[in-house]
């Protein structure tokens, strides 16, 4: 029986500094949440792959990245769950955000746990 993953996107836990930088760059934090949630399957796939080898795996990952003016992601770095950090970095690097006026630094938290 395949266990499905439960991923909680903890948008409220984003750092205040990141929120302030988002506001300065005229990118609504709700836009970031919406784009991440649209691509949530990419992040869930990273977790489900690791969950297959470690059914008890759960935890949180903090992802830091830059959104460039053209909407692409650069300098993605994930920390918190070594089993999936590299996969999460690749997944966030593939996300495309709306174009904006300047570069935005974002820290975005994810919480992963198996569905019960």
Measured distance CA(96)–CA(73) in Å, rounded: 7
Which domains are assigned to the chain? Answer: 5-114 (3.30.2420)
Structure tokens at 34: 């919406």
The whole model's pTM is what?
Answer: 0.79
> Tens of pLDDT along 30-69?
889 899 999 999 999 999 999 999 999 999 999 999 999 9
> Tens of pLDDT along 58-84?
999 999 999 999 999 999 999 999 999
């Amino acid at each position: 029986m395949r266990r499905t993953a439960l991923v909680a996107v903890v948008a409220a836990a984003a750092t205040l500094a990141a929120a302030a930088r988002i506001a300065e760059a005229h990118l609504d934090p709700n836009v970031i949440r919406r784009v991440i949630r649209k691509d949530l399957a990419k992040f869930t796939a990273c977790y489900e792959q690791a969950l297959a080898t470690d059914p008890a795996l759960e935890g949180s990952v903090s992802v830091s990245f830059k959104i460039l003016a053209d909407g692409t992601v650069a300098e993605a770095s994930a920390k918190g769950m070594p089993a999936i950090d590299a996969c999460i970095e690749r997944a966030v690097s593939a996300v495309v955000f709306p174009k904006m006026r300047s570069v935005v630094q974002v820290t975005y938290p994810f919480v992963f746990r198996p569905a019960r």
